[in-house]
Amino acid sequence: MKIQYCPTPEAVPSSGQPDAAVVIDVLRATTTMGWALHNGATAVHVFAQLDALQRAAGAAPPDKRLLAGERGGQRLEGFDLGNSPVAVTPAVVEGKQLFLSTTNGTRALERVQAAPHVLTCSLNNLEAVAERLQTGAVGHGWIVGSGWEGGYSLEDSLAAGALLHTMAAALGSNPHHLCGNDEMIAAGALWQVWREKPEACLRLATHGQRLQRLGNHDADFRCCAAVNSLAVVPTQTHPGMFQLV
C-alpha cells in the first residue's frame, strides 16, 4: 500500500485515480459528518455550491431534511445548522438527511468524488478508517486535506499523519514504507510531534485561531481532538452522498 497526501484539493493530481480517497477536514466538516451519521442521520449530502444544495434539499421531504451550512466558520443564515459536531445530536439528526455545505470540506469531497471509494476521516475515526483501507485491499490511496481556501491546514495534516501511523501500526509496517510522497512523510512527522496534545495543535492552527476569535468553541475543539472516539466510516454510496455501510 502506498499513500499520497494532498494537503489541499488543489494538490490532488489532475489525472488518474487512486483505489481509495480519504478526505479530512478536522475543523470541522468530517468530524461533523462522522457524528451526524453515528447519531442516526440517514445520509449526509455534500455540496460545494449552495444553489445545488438548495435544489437537492428542496426535493427531500421537509420533515426528513436538515440544511447545514457554514462559511468562514459561521453558520449560514436560514440554515437549520452550522457545522458544529456537537450540534448534530441524536435528538436533532436521527432519521434525517443532512444537506451540508462548508467553506472547504465539501469542496475537497467534490474534488475526489469520481474515485472508486471515497471515505471521510477525522481524528475521531482513525482506527475505523485504517481498518477499512486494510480490508479493502487498497494498493494506492490518496489522503486529501481540505485546507483553507487553497492554503495548507495544520490540523488536516496532523490527522493525515495520524492516519498513516494508525495504518502502519495495524499492518505492522514502518510508516515510511507506506508513504507515496514527501507530504505524507512530513504529515507523519507532524503527528509524532503533537500526538500527545492534539487539541493544542488544533487551537494553534490558523483555522483554530479563527474559530476562537469567532467565539467559544471549546466543545468543538474537545470533540474534534478526541482521538478514536468514533468507530464509523462515512462512505460515499452515491456521488456526493455519504452513509454508514
Where along the sequence are the contacts to ligand MLT (CB under 6 A)? 25, 27-29, 70, 73, 83, 102-105, 146
CB of 23 to ligand MLT, least distance (A): 11
CB of 82 to ligand MLT, least distance (A): 7
* Closest CB to ligand MLT: residue number: 102
Alpha carbons 145 and 136: distance in angstroms, whole number: 21
Cβ closest to ligand MLT, residue 11 vs residue 27: 27
Q: 154-171 and 206-214 helices cross at what angle (nearest 10)?
A: 120
Cβ closest to ligand MLT, residue 105 vs residue 188: 105
Q: Cell numbers of 75, please?
A: 453558520
Cβ closest to ligand MLT, residue 80 vs residue 131: 80
Please enumerate in sequence order all residues whose Cβ is within 8 A of that of 199, keeping only pairs 6 or more positions apart, or say none. 221, 222, 224, 225
CB of 149 to ligand MLT, least distance (A): 8
Cβ closest to ligand MLT, residue 58 vs residue 151: 151
Q: 126-135 and 154-171 helices cross at what angle (nearest 10)?
A: 50
Q: Cell numbers of 215, please?
A: 467565539
How far, in Å, are 22, 27, 84, 229 from residue 221 at the CA level?
Answer: 22, 8, 10, 13
CB of 1 to ligand MLT, least distance (A): 28
Cβ closest to ligand MLT, residue 25 vs residue 199: 25
